[in-house]
Structure 1
């Protein structure tokens, strides 16, 4: 069904009670076809602009066929292997935007299903960017106002996380930050 050159999506509409379903679908797909997608390729050092849908075809029996852009299809088809799953129940427990972002980053670091310590590492500037902290923050401000508070909130509210911060220094300046998740297991008696 899938070709390496282009991705073809075929699906069938369940409720065909009125012609408005087709016209609404056609309008929405037309809108999607005109929206531009920008793809950055760090390896080739290039930028590609393309649309989401190259072609759409509708049948009277409710069948719809979409032909995706050949440049975009590898990204859409590769989503199954390249995504991070986390519990919505966990994220609603967190109040701070920094805590939510750090929680998601730590879940992303968990590549083996919590069987080993998950480590998020980067420079202080990378942490500022990842967490959306003010650019004016020096590392001491980032640590005090963002990292420590986010780690505290996550450790308090998320049952299976126990975060700890480590710093790497060059002379007296912090040049590397690591946050480790020493996973905690909740006992089955709690459920």
Structure 2
């Protein structure tokens, strides 16, 4: 599956949006990938995750388990794990840190692929990988549907992306004038109030 094929899936789902958006990282961007519109379509999600699983196998071989960060990584993590034929676990925040909970465990030395939805800065991926390592897993790679950093995100292990885009993202105090002139939208969930 090529970058264009992946983008066609997002466009087909109405999930490739343009405007002025605050990303979960807090950065601002003229492009937002509304991934949930893609993942709610089981056929579309299966195509993407099956292709990601094939790419993981081609690059790192067999793994023992796929682990994702909650909440955004759970669906692509599960579907990718299904195509890898391995368990699907996820980490979630507990006291502000990612941890395996709900009876999830990894055996020491198990080969883990960390599966994420979209990578921008790599922060969530790095935090997830740290939690997996703390639990005894050996993270052989990280994988995502879209790396929107243009390949610049450093997650601390090899990053396997189904598609790589170079989408600009800016701190709030360094917006280009054309982006600052557009009303901002905050479609993510990280800053929702309880």
Name the TM-score class by shorter chain.
under 0.3
Higher helix share: 1
Taking structure 1 as the reference length, the TM-score comes to 0.22
Taking structure 2 as the reference length, the TM-score comes to 0.22
Larger Rg: 1
